Amino acid sequence: MSQQPSTASAASALPGHPFVAYRGAELQIEDVRLSQLAAEHGTPLFVYSKASMLAALAAYQRGFAGRQAQICYAMKANSSLGVLQVFAVAGCGFDIVSGGELERVLAAGGDAAKIIFSGVGKTRAEMRQALQAGIGCFNVESEAELDVLSQVAEALGLRAPVSIRVNPNVDPKTHPYISTGLKDNKFGVAHEDTLRIYQHAASLKGLQVVGIDCHIGSQITDATPYLDAMDRVLDLVASIEASGIALAHIDFGGGLGINYNNDTPPAADALWAQLLRKLDERGYGQKKLMIEPGRSLVGNAGVCVTEVLYVKPGEHKNFCIIDAAMNDLPRPAMYQAFHAIVPVLAESTATPSTPEARYDVVGPICESGDWIGRDRALSVKAGDQLAVLSTGAYCMSMSSNYNTRGRAVELLVDGAKVHVIRERESAADQMRLERLVTL
Ligand SMILES: *Cc1c(COP(=O)(O)O)cnc(C)c1O
């Protein structure tokens, strides 16, 4: 059973957010009122529910019950140390994409042996760093990378454990910027080249072939592309093993979507029930499985609390100007993504003190692309607080200092307990590495 919110009744929980709910007029995360967090820590503010992260993880764990499986949290979704700690303590491995992410995992107490290293552009220095740390697997994305990794490992007197990322050429039907499993993407090696590249990998002295992997995209809300990708990967496993190269594990990547806006992705356990049925039918039920979920573990665990600075009526459009911006919440500007926006203090609908109107919700940054929500019905006035939902994934980790805006404070809520996991960034923090020169 997944954990239930301890105070808020499930009926009042927000769609997709089992641990965010109105209790009376007050929006709460677990047992904590968001208005209280905003009063204590200021805005903009990210808040994450620990129970929500663990419930999302538990759905995968239920799906894999009785199997040899390793869940590697794709930490680029949210790489804050306090978030990594929650997953490390829960026994997760990590999918990393840079040497910096490796250092974060180790700083958070993660197990190096459970790290897999993805990405098309690993540098020699990053390879050396990961080999010396003793990571579990390099997910290699090109033939050229295999050769370099083998050289780097040989020079250290080591053998690099490798898996090759194959491109199954299936359409995940998601945004083009987050679709990765089609032929024309930069990711993985082509299906038809895979066997030859495995044979090349097996011939290199600095490498030890341990697995195969794929990752077809992100925010996938349908099981079909996963089932198609599995078929194609298993075809490859058959031909690679027939050529005499054993594969100890199969890694099916991440990409499962979350509910942003009436999206209906399959639950992780239901999806895996279908996938495992196929795996069993095809005779691979005994193989060790790996997955790399990111968004689906943290996305709906987080909300961003922001304050309305100004309400600006216009001839054609009304603007609601908030203190969070595209530097904090980059997904709308980057992918035209939708985040639900709700009041922290619900108005009584019987006697609303502010009339409802339609607003473009925008930040203070000097860019027309700095919008957070378009054409939203809100009853707001300056000083009100709003919660931007589904902001646990690909928000803080993609945030920037554009306009010399300090990054927001991050809190981890655990029942009634509140932990500051990142302090608000000051201008001095931002200028720390810069130098004035003698002119
Ligand atoms: C980004 C990424 C993931 C995680 O994707 P989500 O959509 O966040 O689950 C997993 N594997 C690889 C290789 C990635 O690049």
- What does the H/E/C string look like for the chain? CCCCCCCCCHHHEECCEEEEEEECCEEEECCEEHHHHHHHHCCCEEEEEHHHHHHHHHHHHHHCCCCCEEEEEEHHHCCCHHHHHHHHHCCCEEEECCHHHHHHHHHCCCCHHHEEECCCCCCHHHHHHHHHHCCCEEEECCHHHHHHHHHHHHHCCCCEEEEEEEECCCCCCCCHHHECCCCCCCCCEEHHHHHHHHHHHHHCCCEEEEEEECCCECCECCCHHHHHHHHHHHHHHHHHHHCCCCCCEEECCCCECCCCCCCCCCCHHHHHHHHHHHHHHCCCCCCEEEECCCHHHHHHHEEEEEEEEEEECCCCCEEEEECCCCCCCCHHHHHCCCCCEEECECCCCCCCCCCCEEEEEECCCCCCCCEEEEEEEECCCCCCEEEECCCCCCCHHHCCCHHHCCCCEEEEEECCEEEEEECCCCHHHHHCCCCCCCC
Reported pTM = 0.95
Q: Which residues are catalytic?
A: 366
5 located within any domain: no
User: Is 285 in the same domain as 333?
Assistant: no
Give me the pLDDT at residue 181, please.
64
117 Cα–ligand 1 center, Å: 11
- Residues 374 and 399 both lie in one domain: yes
CATH of the domain at 23: 2.40.37.10
Q: How far is the CA of 295 from the centre of ligand 1 (A)?
A: 8
Residues 215 and 77 in one domain: yes
Separation of CA 338 and ligand 1 centre (Å): 19
pLDDT at residue 3, rounded to an integer: 45
Q: Which of 258, 273, 293 is the last residue of a domain?
A: 293
Domain check: are 304 and 407 in the same one?
yes
The verdict on 288 and 416 lying in the same domain is no
**Domain end residue (candidates: 231, 260, 293):** 293
Q: State which of 166, 291, 292, 295 you would mutate to test the pocket of ligand 1, scoring each by most atoms of that ligand within 8 A of its C-beta.
A: 292
Q: Are residues 393 and 422 in the same domain?
A: yes
Q: Look at residue 438 and tell me if it is in a domain.
A: no
Structural domain count of the chain: 2
Asked if 156 and 282 sit in the same domain, the reply is yes
Q: Are residues 118 and 69 in the same domain?
A: yes
Residue 436 located in a structural domain: no
pLDDT tens digits, 54-103: 999 999 999 999 999 999 999 999 999 999 999 999 999 999 999 999 99
Query: Residues with Cβ within 6 A of ligand 1?
Result: 74, 76-77, 95, 118, 215, 218, 253-255, 292-296
Examine the domain organization and report whether 194 and 320 are in the same domain. Answer: no
Atom of ligand 1 nearest to the CA of 76: 1
Domain boundary among 293, 328, 360: 293
38, part of any domain: yes
* Model confidence pLDDT, tens digit, residues 116-167: 999 999 999 999 999 999 999 999 999 999 999 999 999 999 999 999 999 9
Residue 174 has pLDDT above 80, yes or no: no
Q: Do 44 and 104 reside in the same domain of the chain?
A: no
* Domain that includes residue 147, residue range: 64-293
Residue 179 resides in a domain: yes
Q: What is the CATH number of the domain that holds 212?
A: 3.20.20.10
Residues 77 and 147 occupy one common structural domain: yes
75 lies in some domain: yes
Could you tell me if 262 and 334 lie in one domain?
no
Q: What is the mean pLDDT of the chain?
A: 94
The tens digit of pLDDT for each residue in 147-157 reads 999 999 999 99
Instruction: Answer whether residue 59 is part of any domain.
Output: no
